[in-house]
Structure 1
Amino acid sequence: MILNLIYEIVVLISFVYSLYIGLIKNKSKQQFYFFLYLLMVILIDIIPVNMYTLIKFNRNLLFTVYIILSILYFGCIYQMNIKNKVFRVLNLLLSITLISFIFYKSQIQNVEKLEFISIISLPVFFIFISISWYIFKLKNVNEKTIVSDFLFWISSAILIWSVVFIFRAIPMYFLQKNDSGLLNFLISVFSLINIVTYLLFLVGLIFVNNEPTSRRI
C-alpha cells in the first residue's frame, strides 16, 4: 500500500536526520536523542512488517512493547521539561498505573487480541501530556516563539495521532466482524495520519535550533 510505503520513508528520513543531529553534529539538546525513539519504531513497526517471511513475531506483542517503551520515553521527556509539581506527580502516577495494567492484563504468551486497556492507554497518555504541555506554555510565556520548541512539534503530532487512533482502534474488533469496508477506510485514514505525525516530527527536527548535547536539558 502506497500510504504505508510513504510512512516508512518519512520515518527513515526522520531517523537518519535525527541520527545526524545527535551523533555527527553532536547537537541534540532539544531533540532529546529522538533517533532512539525512531529506532524503536523501525525495529517494532517497520522491519517485522517488511521481513515477515524471515522474522516471526506476534504483532500484538510488538505493539504492547511499543506502548510501554513509548510511555517511558515520552513520560521522561515531559517530566523533565514541564516544571510543575502537580503535573510531575500525575505524570509519574499515570505512567506507573498504565504500565502496571498493561503488564497485568496482557497475555505475553500467544497474544491473540490486545486488551482494551492496552489499546487505549497510549492515546490517553499522549493526550494528557500534550495538553499539559500546552497549558504549561500558556502559563509560562517567554520571548521565544512556541514553534522554536521541539516539544511543540511532538505535542502537536501525538495529539493528532491519539485522537484519530482512538476512532480507529476502539471499534477495530467489532468492525472486523460487522463492517470490513468501514474498517479498511479507517485504516487508510490512520495511515495518512501516521504520515502527518512523522512529518511533524521531521519538521521539528529540521527547524528547531540545535544546541550542543554537552549542555544539560
Structure 2
Amino acid sequence: MLIKIYYIVFFITVLKSIIILRKNNFFSQNYFFVFLIVNFLIDFFSELNIISSKAIQYNYLNLFNIFFFIIFYFSYLKNKVLPILILVSTLLCVIFTSHYFCFDKYNLNLAILYCITNIFYSLYWINLKLNNVSKVRITNEPLFWISTSILVWSCFFLFRIIPMYLLDEEDKQFLKLLKSILLIINIMVYTLFYVGLTKYKNSKDEISTT
C-alpha cells in the first residue's frame, strides 16, 4: 500500500515539474525536473525488476545525484571551495570503490557521501537565506521546500543505510521497519517537492551571493 502511494505522489510531482517546464522556459526550475525524471525512472524500473543489477543502478544514481546538486546549488554558494571539495571527494570515492560499478553490490561509501553533501548544501542555503534580508518570505522560495526535503531525507537515510548490513544479519524485522519508515519519509519528501514546485510560479528564487 505504501509503495503505491509513494509512486502516485512521485508521479504527480514529476508531472507538475513537466507542466511548469511547458509553461515557463527550460531553466525555470534550475533543471530540477531532470533530477525528478531520472530518479523516478530508475526507481520505477527497479520496482518492475526490469534491471537485474539493482545495486549497480543505484550506485550510478547516487553518483548522478551528487553531480546534479553540485550544479543545482552552485550559483547560491558564496564560497566555491565547497563544491570543489565535494567534487574531489566524489572522484576519489569513485576511484577507490570503482569495483562497485561493475559488480552488483551497493556502494555504501558513495551513499554516505551523497547524504553528507545534501546535508551541507541544504543547511548552507537555509543559513544563507536566513542571514540575507529579502522581500520574499522564505516559505515562498522553492529552494526552501527542496532543501528542507533533502535535509530530512538525507538524515534518515544515513540512519537507514549505515547499519543495514549488520541489521540484515542480526535484526531483519527492525530493518524491515526502517524500510517502511523510509517509504513514509519519501512520500513526505516528494509532497514537499511538489509544494516547492508550485512556488516556481510565484518566485524566481533569486538571492544575493555577494
| TM-score for both structures, normalised by structure 2 | 0.89
How far off its partner does 1:42 sit?
A: 1.8
Counting only pairs closer than 5 Å after superposition, residues 11-90 of structure 1 correspond to structure 2 as: 11-22=10-21, 24-27=22-25, 29-50=27-48, 52=49, 55-82=50-77, 84=78, 86=79, 88-90=80-82
Contact 1:106 1:115 in 2 (8 A): no
Q: Which residue of 100, 103, 115 maps to 2:92?
A: 100
Task: Tell me the distance in 2 between the aligned counterparts of 1:92 and 1:9.
Answer: 36
Match of 1:189 in 2: 181
What amino acid sits opposite 1:71 in the alignment?
Answer: I
3-state SS of the aligned residue for 2:13? helix
Task: Tell me the distance in 2 between the aligned counterparts of 1:90 and 1:33.
Answer: 21
Q: Deviations over 1:162-208 (max 9, x none)?
A: 11101111110100111001101111111100111111000111234
Match of 1:215 in 2: none
Counterparts in 2 of 1:154 and 1:103: CA distance versus 1, 3 Å: farther
Q: Deviations over 1:105-159 (max 9, x none)?
A: 14122223x2331221111010000011111112212111001211101100000
Q: Deviations over 1:56-78 (max 9, x none)?
A: 33111111111111111111111
Percent identity of equivalent pairs: 33
Counterparts in 2 of 1:100 and 1:210: CA distance versus 1, 3 Å: farther
How far off its partner does 1:99 sit?
A: 3.7
Could you list the runs of 5+ residues in structure 2 that have no partner in the other structure?
A: 205-210
Contact 2:156 2:182 in 1 (8 A): yes
Task: Tell me the distance in 2 between the aligned counterparts of 1:49 and 1:176.
Answer: 20
Number of matched residues? 203
Task: Tell me the distance in 2 between the aligned counterparts of 1:166 and 1:101.
Answer: 17
